[in-house]
A and B are shown apart, each in its own frame.
Chain A
């Protein structure tokens, strides 16, 4: 089974702190994604990556950056956390082979910025 793990289930940070969210997948997937989930808004794509050291902006990249130094690991970085970044963050990965492909999700990290 594909496994996508995220470094924390719950995280509390203060405004202005630098925050790292880590995601690791164990199936040699090419593609990795970061979403945020907010009530009434569904999931919105922040960033994605097709390969090591490659990244593409999603729909809401402002205030975020990402890093993919190894194929299995995709990090989301909040350079200076703000209260409007309080949300559930979901990481996903996919093999990278076509239109009907499944994305596999991690359990999520619920971030609270005070």
Chain B
């Protein structure tokens, strides 16, 4: 079946540090890949997505590239801010004629220290 494995947290970084959160997946066919972010006390919101191999999703300085050869979708940001402190979820979505499911990783808690 489909599954997502992401880097275990928590991750603590200083402001302006470089961020990488690893995500790898197992899926049949050609899933779409997503990063969702959950700020404290809130629901999840879409951060970025990619729908086919070699696509790069980007938003708010975050980037992730859909790598089919390594089945990965690692999240990166060049210079993190305190406001990036949140829980980040990698997810894959497989859609097949009405059968739609998002499969999530376990989440990575990120804390940025001023």
Nearest CB to that of B4 among chain A residues? A42
| Interface hit among B12-20, B73-81, B98-106 | B98-106
Q: Which of A18-42 contact B (CB under 8 A)?
A: 31, 33, 35, 40-42
Cβ-Cβ contact count across A and B, 8 Å cutoff: 61
Interface residues of B (CB under 8 A from A): 30-32, 34, 36, 41-46, 49, 51, 89, 93-95, 98, 100-102, 104-107
Interface of B is mostly: strand
| Residue A50 at the chain B interface, CB threshold 8 Å | yes
B43→A108 contact, CB < 8 A: yes
Q: How close is B46's CB to chain A, nearest CB, in angstroms?
A: 5
B101→A58 contact, CB < 8 A: yes
Interface residues of A (CB under 8 A from B): 4, 31, 33, 35, 40-45, 48, 50, 58, 90, 92, 94, 96, 98-108
B residues in contact with A102, CB < 8 Å? 34, 46, 49
B102→A103 contact, CB < 8 A: yes
